Structures are given as C-alpha cells and as structure tokens.
C-alpha cells in the first residue's frame, strides 16, 4: 500500500519520522477543505489561500505533538479557522485594505494585459453575483454551502467535520438554497421566493 492511500494518522506518524512525502499527501488531500473553511471566514480567494498556507505551517509545527492523529481532519478545521480569523483581525487593524479592495487588486493584476471578451465579462458578472449571494448567507448556512460546493463533501463528511448531525446539514442546505434562489432569481428563473 502506497503512501497516498495511508490514513491521516499513518501519514502524521510517517511525517514525524521524517517522511516529507507523507506531508505532501496530507496537503494534497486537504488543501480544498482548508480553502473552503478559510474562504467561508474571509470571503475572498486570495486571503483564503494565504490562510491555508499559514494553517499548514502550523500543522507542520505541531505535527510532532498532535495527541490524536486519527482526528486530524477536525483538528485541521480548527487550525484553518483560527488562521482565517487571525487574518480577519489583522484586516480590522488595517482598515485601508478592505477585502473588496484586495479582491479588486488581485483581479487587476491577474487581468492585466489579458483581453476579456464581452461574454467573459458577463460570465464574471454572474459569478460575482453568485459569490456575493453566498457571502451574504448566514454563516452557519454559508459554511455548509462552501464545504458542499468548494470541497464537494457529502452530507456525512460535512457532518463529521463540523460535529453536527446529517439532519442539520440537510436542513441548512435546504434553507441556504431557498435564500440563494431568491437572491439569484434573475439568473435562476422566477419565482425567486419559495411559495
């Protein structure tokens, strides 16, 4: 059995013994989950990617002392969330660089010199509207939506990560979709609100 099929706990043990490849497998396995968690808190991709890097640095620093490696996933959830909240706090201390401003700056750099056809602009507009609608969801709903769509987790996996029941996941997704349907009525088709 190769390293890529090892359990999280086994990968942690291997990394403690100096197996760098084991850490790379862990990173590959959980980058999307970590990104989804950070994005839920921060609301923009660039800041979330930074928080993911910070979080895995903490994982690297603390791997030797993690008492229950078999619960790595839920521990990682806490680490990523903490890093993302730290980033939010740093932002608050530097109000001049708002999330929106950073988002715009990032896009400006990425788009520089790349001509974008009108259809692409329209698509961007729709995507922005969708992401804004997701951002405006109550946090408990947004958390489930982000894990569902960004990390493509099943109800069972989301329930395990968040420590809540599958029924709660289902209920939050149901309500989140009703809200999204209303907010995105012009793109998803009327009627927007649930009858």
- Window 73 to 102, contacts with another protein (CB under 8 A): 74-79, 81-82
* Interface with another protein in residues 106-125 (CB under 8 A): 106, 109-110, 112-114
Residue located via tokens 């149901």:
174
The reply to whether 154 sits near another protein by the rule CB under 8 A is: yes
Q: State the DSSP code for 151.
A: S
Q: What is the nearest approach in angstroms of another protein to the Cβ of residue 94?
A: 15
The reply to whether 24 sits near another protein by the rule CB under 8 A is: yes
CA distances from 38 to 4, 53, 97, 119, 170 (A): 25, 10, 18, 30, 22
Residues written for the chain: 195
Q: What is the nearest approach in angstroms of another protein to the Cβ of residue 20?
A: 7
| Nearer to another protein among residue 96 and residue 114 (C-beta) | 114
The reply to whether 10 sits near another protein by the rule CB under 8 A is: no
| Nearer to another protein among residue 52 and residue 96 (C-beta) | 52
- From the list 12, 14, 35, 84, which residue makes contact with another protein (rule: CB under 8 A)? 35
Please answer whether residues 145 and 171 qualify as being in contact, where contact means their C-beta atoms are separated by less than 8 angstroms. no
108: left (phi over 0), alpha (psi -120 to 50) or beta: alpha
Q: What is the nearest approach in angstroms of another protein to the Cβ of residue 186?
A: 11
Give per-residue burial for 92-101: e unless 16+ CB within 10 Å, then b: eeeeeeebee
| Nearer to another protein among residue 95 and residue 167 (C-beta) | 167
Q: What is the nearest approach in angstroms of another protein to the Cβ of residue 92?
A: 18
DSSP-assigned letters across all residues of 154-171: -HHHHHHHHTS-HHHHHH
Please answer whether residues 180 and 137 qualify as being in contact, where contact means their C-beta atoms are separated by less than 8 angstroms. yes
* Interface with another protein in residues 158-187 (CB under 8 A): 170, 173-174, 177, 180-181, 184, 187
Q: What is the nearest approach in angstroms of another protein to the Cβ of residue 95?
A: 20
């Amino acid at each position: 059995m190769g390293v890529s099929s090892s359990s999280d706990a086994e990968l942690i043990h291997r990394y403690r013994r100096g197996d760098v490849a084991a850490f790379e497998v862990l990173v590959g396995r959980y980058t999307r989950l970590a990104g989804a968690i950070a994005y839920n808190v921060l609301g923009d991709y660039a800041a979330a990617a930074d928080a993911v890097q910070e979080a895995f640095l903490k994982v690297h620093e603390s791997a030797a002392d993690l008492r229950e490696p078999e619960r790595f996933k839920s521990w990682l959830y806490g680490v990523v969330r903490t890093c993302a909240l730290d980033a939010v706090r740093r932002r608050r201390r530097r109000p001049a660089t708002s999330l929106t401003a950073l988002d715009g700056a990032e896009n400006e750099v990425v788009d520089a010199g790349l001509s974008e056809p009108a259809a692409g602009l329209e698509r961007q507009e729709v995507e922005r509207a969708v992401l804004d609608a997701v951002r405006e969801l109550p946090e408990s709903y947004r958390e489930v939506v982000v894990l569902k769509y960004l990390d493509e987790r099943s109800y069972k996996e989301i329930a395990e990560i968040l420590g809540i029941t599958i029924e709660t996941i289902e209920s939050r997704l149901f309500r989140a979709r009703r809200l999204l349907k209303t907010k995105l009525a012009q793109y998803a088709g009327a009627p927007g609100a649930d009858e």
